[in-house]
Structure 1
């Protein structure tokens, strides 16, 4: 488990990543307690499925858990001579480079961008030597796929991933990017295995059937995890009520 603290307009937020034990209210001096990928069931948090891989298994066993299509894509990517780059504790500039790449992807996909709040979270994780950035590039050093991970020394969790697959029109380039992305996951999984991590967590399984199919193609085990916030004070309660109202307005429920 890793915890980070921050203040936002004098509102203190403490966020726990990969919690394996309950954080009792009153034990933490903060207006809000945040949970990311907690294994502790709580009705106040959002429950969702993630997919995890046991890195104690040998390389061949992990490979054979994948479906044939995924193994074939990885083999094709290996034949292309891509370069896998690992950046432990990335610099501010390296994080900004990722931010620019990711936000182009997010804009096209219509999802949330990587904003200043997320950037601060990454820097706080970096301070605890818990952050890693990685990417796959072609022979011309063009970045094809990017990912950011955090780890508590036991579980390596994929926090963000991005490719420009949707942006390009060229069919062959789309295929190359798809192969590079799969190889990036595989190479990173093996890197964490070599570092002695026990679990590789690919991140949440969404309702998007294409993303779900993509992730399940690697094998692994589906695990339920919990994320969200719990108020610790009157201010925290007000913040959560305002947040819930905004979400309802966005969904047209008010």
Structure 2
């Protein structure tokens, strides 16, 4: 299977490919699922990116600067790093009754990692306790938010609960600046859901709302049916 990320024009598909996957393509297609995301241009200056933030975000980032965060960037995360992330994410998902990262999702994560297409970042407290993770897909100088998870306040010591309020936004802002410094040109905030809190958070970082298209295309009717069943089961 051939898979394309963030394509801006019709992809050059090898004739031998029976199934082609797309993630957040900008090329409209009735065969793919349309969704909304937010694109943040990393070509802008750091000052322009900062001014595009909501006033609430700027205030929270000023508070975050007073905290003793330890940021760890795993540009080439090991299997152990990713397993630690999976365990942390699934503990949070279990408490919140959300879908965790199962075997199939982990196989995709490991495959992306083999292709050098992942950036894993972590924030630890001053005493070394993990507070937040972000997992981004990185490809062709473009990046996309893939997974994010913040520790449950109930699992933190009392003196760490206040710093926990700022950590997710702090890490996202840190990563935007890091990617910009590495020459990346675009950050995709991930799918905009109907959850008003999620939409508000993503829109508070500025950027432009765009339509993107994801899914699988196959010329085989049998494979198309199988993919349809797979999609329905999700």
| TM-score between the two structures when normalised by the length of structure 1 | 0.83
- In the aligned structure 1, how far is the partner of 2:230 from the partner of 2:15? 24
Report how many residues are paired.
Answer: 234
Q: 1:47 to 1:90 in 2, by over 3 A?
A: same
Q: Secondary structure at the match of 1:212?
A: helix
RMSD over aligned Cα, in angstroms? Answer: 2.3
What is residue 173 of structure 2 aligned with on the other side? Answer: 186
2:71 is aligned, of 51, 63, 84, to 84
What is residue 18 of structure 1 aligned with on the other side? Answer: 6
| Residues 173-182 or 44-53, more deviating | 173-182
Correspondence 1:126 to 2:113: yes
1:63 is aligned, of 50, 59, 68, to 50
**Structure 2: any 5+ residue segments left out of the alignment?**
none
What is residue 195 of structure 2 aligned with on the other side? Answer: 208
- In the aligned structure 1, how far is the partner of 2:175 from the partner of 2:228? 40
Residues 76-104 of structure 1: CA deviation (Å, up to 9, x unaligned): 11101211110011000000001011112
Is 2:4–2:23's contact at 8 Å kept on the other side of the alignment?
Answer: yes
**Structure 1: any 5+ residue segments left out of the alignment?**
1-12, 248-254
Is 1:25–1:232's contact at 8 Å kept on the other side of the alignment?
Answer: no
Is 2:125–2:160's contact at 8 Å kept on the other side of the alignment?
Answer: no
Q: What is the CA distance between 1:23 and its match in structure 2?
A: 4.2
Q: What is the CA distance between 1:34 and its match in structure 2?
A: 1.9
Q: What is the CA distance between 1:228 and its match in structure 2?
A: 1.4
